[in-house]
Structure 1
């Protein structure tokens, strides 16, 4: 004989079954669009990874050769930044506009000069004080 508790449990189970039957899978077009977006994100990440790794590879030798940064560390940095760039600009490098070009140009100009002295040596006239050129 069914108890009231058993009857309630059966009714609850039937309601759950009805609810799960009402859940509808997303339309095929949404699935395809999602797959295309994932493929585009992977492509963008791969594009960014190659570019960033190319830029980062010579930097330790220029900026900090004594640190001994390894290839695996450069790849980890490139992967982290590629992920961030792909999320920010999912369309790839072309979507970043002039920013990537500006960054690469800045690194190309400044990078080789980083280890050079940042100030010019003082000349003889500058050591004795300011000379405004006025006659005494």
Structure 2
């Protein structure tokens, strides 16, 4: 069994994460903000999810996260801007450039696939444990 870990930082503009395996970073991630698990506008809830390989019409051969409560068709696919390119999925990125924004998503996704696909091909189960790390709240100061 392979267990990946995703630690998230939440912000109203997007969710940033660090995905690791056995304590070593694999890639960073971006997602939509937390909006109570609403379809197409929220990141998925924290928890442990099994990953499977799935062929998708738009994104090709991808990792999928089945059995997310109240959700369907959740993928791990390339994107650099969560608010305009994601509808609840997770996008690996090489670097964060802001909340819900990143760079070199395809490169980061390939690194993740290079790690996970061999395990799946050997018949191993692969899981992703998603945990909250930090909430960032913007405070706007009123000028008097």
Name the TM tier (shorter chain): under 0.3
Q: What TM-score, normalized by structure 2, do the two folds share?
A: 0.25
Q: What TM-score, normalized by structure 1, do the two folds share?
A: 0.26
More strand, by proportion: 2
More helix, by proportion: 1
Structure with max Cα Rg: 1
